[in-house]
Amino acid sequence: MSRCENCIIRQFNSLRAMSKEELKKVSDTKVSKTFKKGDAIFEEGDRLDGVFCVRDGVSKLSKLSSNGKDQIIKLASKGEILGQRSVIAEESANLSAIAIKDMDVCFIPKESILHTLNTNPNFAVEVLRHMAKDLRDADDVIVNISQKTVKQRIAEAFIYLKDNFGEDELGFLNLSLTREDMSNVVGTATESTIRIISEFKKKGIIETSGKKIRILNIPKLETVISGL
Amino acid sequence: MSRCENCIIRQFNSLRAMSKEELKKVSDTKVSKTFKKGDAIFEEGDRLDGVFCVRDGVSKLSKLSSNGKDQIIKLASKGEILGQRSVIAEESANLSAIAIKDMDVCFIPKESILHTLNTNPNFAVEVLRHMAKDLRDADDVIVNISQKTVKQRIAEAFIYLKDNFGEDELGFLNLSLTREDMSNVVGTATESTIRIISEFKKKGIIETSGKKIRILNIPKLETVISGL
DNA sequence: ACCGAAACCTGACAATTGTCATATTTTTAA
DNA sequence: TTAAAAATATGACAATTGTCAGGTTTCGGT
């Protein structure tokens, strides 16, 4: 089994602020796990006794609202640490984490994390910086959802998917969400998303092939986002 | 001038995790300031060279959206620390802080904060816990804004104002927002807010006297929130 | 290759929310 | 106190979005 000390993923998250010794301890207690598309890594309300470091795949972090719909708060992929907020706050999970692409993760028991937090200020500050960034992102999402139209938000979501997950050789988005997941990201009804995607197709802004989506005209997308 | 070591406000925020010595240093470098209603403590994009500890009054933290409307992300009062996120992330402020009730704050230069963060893990973890809570709150706001109607959100806002800022002897809310600020909290047009408040008045759910608002029927408000 | 389930699509309509225009009331400041 | 400015209020209407009801297509497993 691979050792954390040699793990490249580490470079992308706060674990890089751990000392050699701390990493060794983490490595000794960690457990590799895999999750298939659709599997839950954890669910809202679960007590987490550790965090999950994503080595491969993608997970959606969502929260069930009182009207029965899921709201996707974030998409997490390689390098992200899941469950950190709950472990630090010593609360049960406020979000569910469901795999939307087969995942390869390391489970790290919370003891190593909490101990390092309490003894290594570098690590604590590194985690703090990450959380500060998440918080700013959340603020931006709040503004977007409440001040932009559904069409603008969907256009933004495509740009987001391109920028964060990239495109394959043929220009198709590496990560294609179902219309329903897309709706849960932007906070709207599935039918609305379908209609707007159809409209984008008719206008030559995007193109689909099977369930893959290719962005054809970024300037037009930007125009939609700007709301003109 | 009063000393941080004796400041009661400290109990409510992460400064309580500082040692006597650290507090003394903070106290020596801090500067008391007052802001009148309408004054900006700082604005979106400002580089902050410290944080602001609120001793009295209330501030709205808001972000301007591309369509020219403000979105209020949070209302901060006694005990809150403003600007912490930006100082920690070493970024310019992502939000503006405007006083909505005359304020009495202490400005604490970032050096003391950052130095303590890097040397006192207790303090770092305490700050982390606070930020973890803010992040969860932000997640909840995202779900609320995208999945609930304007009417539900306004009803929730009244409960929020009552729970967080309390009522005076006569049962009037201690903090009354203008209709415009209320709109910017729930993310809707001012006219919509006015209409819904009128409706609540007609239904005997709330009552107004001048610019003060009194909640008359909490169960009815809860019913509105539940969406039946 | 086939079946059932899930995903996708479209129309028709209703509900919600935003915009504009215009009063009225309240607050503020000279 | 009094005039100007800001906040509140309401109507009429348009735009956006949601819901329901029916389709078709695509996909995964046997």
**Predicted confidence (pLDDT) per residue in B7-46, tens digit:** 888 888 999 999 999 999 999 999 999 999 999 999 999 9
Percent above pLDDT 90 for chain A = 90
Write out pLDDT tens, residues A191-201: 999 999 999 99
What is the average pLDDT across A28-32?
95
Residue B128 pLDDT > 90? yes
List beta partners, residue B40: B98
Q: What is the DSSP string of A92-108?
A: --SSEEEEEEEEEEEEE
Q: A6 falls in which pLDDT band (50, 70, 90)? A: confident
Residue A2 pLDDT > 90? no
**Cα distances (Å, whole numbers) of residue B201 to B18, B184, B216, B217:** 48, 21, 9, 11
Q: State whether the beta carbon of A189 lies below 7 angstroms from any atom of strand D.
A: yes
Give the distance, in angstroms, between residue A73 CA and nucleotide D12 C1': 38
Pairwise CB contact (< 8 Å): A146 & B121: no
Sign of the dihedral defined by the CA atoms of residues A196, A197, A203, A206, in that order: positive
What is the average pLDDT across A11-15?
87
A 10 A CB-CB count for B47 gives 11
Query: What is the predicted ipTM?
Result: 0.95
Residue A222 pLDDT > 90? yes
Q: What is the DSSP string of chain A?
A: ---GGG-SGGGGSGGGGS-HHHHHHHHHH-EEEEE-TT-EEE-TTPPPSEEEEEEEEEEEEEEE-TTS-EEEEEEE-TT-EESHHHHHHT---SSEEEEEEEEEEEEEEHHHHHHHHHH-HHHHHHHHHHHHHHHHHHHHHHHHHHHS-HHHHHHHHHHHHHHHH-B-TTSBBSS---HHHHHHHHTS-HHHHHHHHHHHHHTTSEEEETTEEEE--HHHHHHHHHT-
Contacts of B94 in chain A (CB under 8 A): 136, 139-140
Q: Cα torsion at A91, A95, A100, A106 (round to 10°)?
A: -10
Q: Which of B88, B136, B141 sits opposite A142 (nearest CB)?
A: B141
* Distance (Å, whole) CA B46 – CA A156: 26
Pairwise CB contact (< 8 Å): B67 & A138: no
Q: Which of A121, A134, A148 sits opposite B135 (nearest CB)?
A: A134
Q: B192 falls in which pLDDT band (50, 70, 90)? A: very high
Q: Which of B127, B133, B145 sits opposite A128 (nearest CB)?
A: B127
Pairwise CB contact (< 8 Å): A143 & B94: no
Token pair, residue A37, equals 């598309």
3-class secondary structure, B40: strand
Reported for B171-177, long-range contacts at CB under 8 A and 24+ positions apart, including other chains, are: B171/B214, B171/B215, B172/B209, B172/B212, B172/B213, B172/B214, B173/B212, B173/B213, B173/B214, B173/B215, B175/B58, B175/B75, B175/B77, B175/B100, B175/B101, B176/B211, B176/B212, B176/B213, B177/B100
Residues 117-146 of B with CB under 7 A from strand D: none
Contacts of A122 in chain B (CB under 8 A): 118
DSSP annotation of B46 reads P
Residue A190 pLDDT > 90? yes
pTM: 0.95
* Distance (Å, whole) CA B107 – CA A34: 49
Q: Which A-chain residues 176-195 have CB contacts (< 8 A) with chain B?
A: 186-188
Q: B5 falls in which pLDDT band (50, 70, 90)? A: confident
CB proximity B227 to A under 8 Å: yes
What is the average pLDDT across B113-122?
96
Closest nucleotide to B208's CA, by C1' atom? D8
Residue A65 pLDDT > 80? yes
What is the average pLDDT across B102-108?
96
Q: B72 falls in which pLDDT band (50, 70, 90)? A: very high
What is the pLDDT at residue B37? 93
What is the pLDDT at residue A21? 93
State the smallest CA–CA distance between residue B79 and chain A in angstroms.
19
What is the pLDDT at residue A1? 60
What is the average pLDDT across A107-134?
96
CB proximity A32 to B under 8 Å: no
**H-helix or E-strand containing B180?**
helix B179-186
Residue B3 pLDDT > 80? yes
What is the pLDDT at residue B210? 82
Q: B1 falls in which pLDDT band (50, 70, 90)? A: low
Token pair, residue A1, equals 């089994």
A 10 A CB-CB count for B210 gives 7
What is the pLDDT at residue A7? 86
State the smallest CA–CA distance between residue A168 and chain B in angstroms.
31
Q: State whether the beta carbon of B190 lies below 7 angstroms from any atom of strand D.
A: yes
Output B49 or A210, whichever has higher pLDDT.
B49
Q: State whether the beta carbon of B211 lies below 7 angstroms from any atom of strand D.
A: yes
Pairwise CB contact (< 8 Å): A125 & B69: no
3-class secondary structure, B211: coil
Give the distance, in angstroms, between residue B151 CA and nucleotide D10 C1': 18
Closest nucleotide to A176's CA, by C1' atom? C7
State the smallest CA–CA distance between residue A1 and chain B in angstroms.
32
CB proximity B223 to A under 8 Å: no
Residue A179 pLDDT > 90? yes
Residue B183 pLDDT > 90? yes
Tokens 């406020």 locate to A94
Q: A141 falls in which pLDDT band (50, 70, 90)? A: very high
Residue A228 pLDDT > 80? no
